[in-house]
Chains A and B, each alone.
Chain A
Amino acid sequence: MMWGFKLEFKQNLRTKKFWLIIVIMAVLYIPSFYFMKSFFLQSGEHITNEAAMSMLINSITGMTSFFVAILALLIGATAINSEIEKGTLRIAMSKPIKRLHYIGGKFLAHCLVLLIALLFSTIVSLLGILYLGGSFTTQLVVDVFLLNMLLLLAMIQLVALGYIISTVIKSSNTALGLAIILMFVIFMIVPSIVNFLAIKNTANSPNANIEEMQKLQKEYTTKYLFYDPISQVKVITEDVSTTLSKNPRDILNVRYNGVAYAIRNNLTNFAHIIWLTILYLSIGFYRFVKMDLR
């Protein structure tokens, strides 16, 4: 298994898409923290540690759930078919390596590459929090670790979905196109429609308020977007902190609950991420083990 891992890891760190995503994330993080600092300076408020941690969790989730998710799906969608096109898979699989070991090694390499991207995002966010005036605590380190694991799990689901695409569609370009369409339709447009329906249905109810709307959004996301790991992670991380102010834009007045609490509080969403990851991985691996590599 380590043979496939080494080869794939080396290969992935050299791909343009990996470095492009890292650069885009870096470029977007810097101005976002700069604007936040300017906002606090203008309002004359001091950032509390709880608010800083809450912002950190939100910024990592928001940024990585978009960029690393694209990277994850693209890595998965071209994992097998591009190697068949180039012929490198025929060379690799003609050596005394079992198919399951090879794909297993490849999968581990993809996990590590995604973890590197996540860690990069985390480090930049931590630096951003220090820049905003927050400080390191033990809980912050533990929560950042937990959050990265949660995000990694969600990204693995996308890689696994990519494997299925990669074993079904022979052309890597077509697979890439389909992955991008999937990303936008299923992971962006459909969640927006579901959110819109939640807002609309809340507005129609006689005792409409923000809490009602958030509750309905959560319910709809769990029910109708169970296949979207990004939406499931967002549902979980929303419970990382509770806004104490009546004004939802008052982001500094929060109670920090922690990532472990948020996961415990949303076990159905967590379970959705796990069972679909296992299902997609099983299908992707099975297809690879049984497919013609030509």
Chain B
Amino acid sequence: MILRIEGLVKNYGDVRALDGLNLEVKQGQVYGFLGPNGAGKSTTILGTVGLIFPQKGRIELFGTEVFNEGKYDENTLVEAKKKIGYMPEHATLWDFLTPVQTLDIIGEAFKIPKAERSKKIEEVLKLVGLWEVKNKKVGNFSKGMKQRLLLAQSLINDPDFLILDEPMTGLDPSGIAEFKNVIRDLNKEGKTVFFSSHILAHVEEICDTVGVIVKGKIRLEGNLETIKREFLQKAGYTIILETTRKVSFEDAEWKVTPLGEKKYRIVTSHDIREELHDFVASQGAKILTMQVKEPTLEEIFIQMVE
């Protein structure tokens, strides 16, 4: 087990950011940590890397306890951090340094020998596409370039566990595609990746496991297929009937809104496609077209919150 969080509680004043959060990330996983803004994603990550002090709970990294009931074991945490790469959200790097200088000073924090450090810097900068601008000041970089450098600094120590907080914010579509490729390649090398996002499209394709956090608790967890099935269960259907008779939905258990003479909108809390076909057929009608509208992640979040 790479990361195990048990019953983590974090309050910021009167606001409960984490409410007994439980989470597990296994070796080799690409774990997508989804949730609306303010759900507790960043707080979870900050707690994992020891940047905040939760009030309660336990955190284990690489099978060793680093936090228990309000206290970090700093020596153990420092040891664990040697194997972690962390990319924070909304961060800038030191404006007066170049990418090479930035990675050099970060490499020094990991006590990587000078010669090995230079090699690693070249490798990482090439990977994120910043080798061409290696000697330019970071202060002159665009948002996208800064994001790439943030990713680069998280890779300098060749980490076993990569923690990325909203890593695709500020990247253009091609940047996002490249980023996804980098994640895939790193995962193929055996690295475990944990990254947060509030956009479902960002976690699709690359994550094998997804956890949805709402109000400081994991509300949904599993592989992406399971999550999608959950999404479909809360779907809305628009149907157009082929019939000469009027179909009555009075006995139906679902919420039905007529949109026209033969067109209806049906909202349910579970998958009713088969039931719906049978229900319509029992009245001598047939469904001509059926559109299933998957709710957006935001809609799901809102439903969960409600």
Name which of B46-54, B234-242, B267-275 contacts chain A: B46-54
Whether a CB of chain A sits under 8 angstroms from the CB of B78 is yes
Pair A95/B109 contact, Cβ less than 8 Å: yes
Pair B91/A10 contact, Cβ less than 8 Å: no
Cross-chain contact of A94 among B43, B49, B53, B92 (Cβ < 8 A) = B49
- CA of A7 to CA of B102, assembled, Å: 10
Number of A-B contacts (CB under 8 A): 74
Whether a CB of chain A sits under 8 angstroms from the CB of B100 is no
Pair A86/B92 contact, Cβ less than 8 Å: yes
- In the bound complex, residues from chain B placing their C-beta under 8 Å from that of A45 are none
- CA of A92 to CA of B49, assembled, Å: 11
How many residues on the B side are at the interface (Cβ–Cβ under 8 A)? 31
Interface positions, chain B 80-130, Cβ under 8 Å from A, are: 81-82, 84, 86, 88, 90-94, 96-97, 105-106, 108-110
Cross-chain contact of B79 among A96, A97, A292 (Cβ < 8 A) = A96
- CA of A63 to CA of B270, assembled, Å: 77
Whether a CB of chain B sits under 8 angstroms from the CB of A93 is yes
- CA of A93 to CA of B47, assembled, Å: 12
- CA of A50 to CA of B221, assembled, Å: 81
Residue of A nearest to B85 (CB): A94
Taking Cβ atoms with an 8 Å cutoff, the residues of B that contact A are 12, 42-43, 46, 49-53, 74, 78-79, 81-82, 84, 86, 88, 90-94, 96-97, 105-106, 108-110, 150, 153
- In the bound complex, residues from chain A placing their C-beta under 8 Å from that of B49 are 93-94
Whether a CB of chain B sits under 8 angstroms from the CB of A11 is yes
Interface positions, chain A 94-116, Cβ under 8 Å from B, are: 94-99
What does the 1/0 interface line of A277-294 toward B look like (CB < 8 Å)? 000000000000010111
- CA of A96 to CA of B106, assembled, Å: 10
- In the bound complex, residues from chain B placing their C-beta under 8 Å from that of A17 are none
What are 13 A-to-B residue pairs whose CB atoms are below 8 Å? A3-B109, A6-B108, A10-B96, A88-B92, A91-B93, A91-B153, A94-B81, A94-B86, A94-B88, A292-B46, A292-B53, A293-B51, A293-B52
